[in-house]
Amino acid sequence: MTTISLSWGDRPIALETVDGKTVLRLGQNLRVDVTDASLDQLDRLADVAADLADMQRDRYRAADVADQVAAEDGHRFVGVRYQRRGAEAA
């Protein structure tokens, strides 16, 4: 079995029909043939996608909490500060 790693960010996700087959397109280069997928498998795919969305929402909320705590302490930034113009800042 081969494992493929893919990072697609905000690239399109679409359902398409190609040569009489139904495919799930993830980004520009990956197509998954779902023509013969069972209802159970499609339901599981939907569940996994919902779980991923929940995980991402939790990550966003955690980042928001860190920003809010920093703002309450009078800080604008969380993390390591950097200088845009090192020579001019000196």
Close Cβ partners of 6 (under 8 Å, ≥ 6 residues apart): 26, 27, 30
CA–CA separation, 29 and 80 (whole Å): 36
pLDDT band per the 50, 70, 90 thresholds, residue 86 = low
How do the domains of the chain map onto residue ranges?
Answer: 13-72
What is the mean predicted confidence (pLDDT) over 62-73?
72
Torsion of CA 36, 22, 30, 32, to 10 degrees: -10
Question: Residue 22: CB partners within 8 Å, gap ≥ 6?
Answer: 15, 16, 33, 34, 35
pTM: 0.58
Helix locations, 8-82, DSSP H? 39-72
The per-residue pLDDT for 5 is: 78
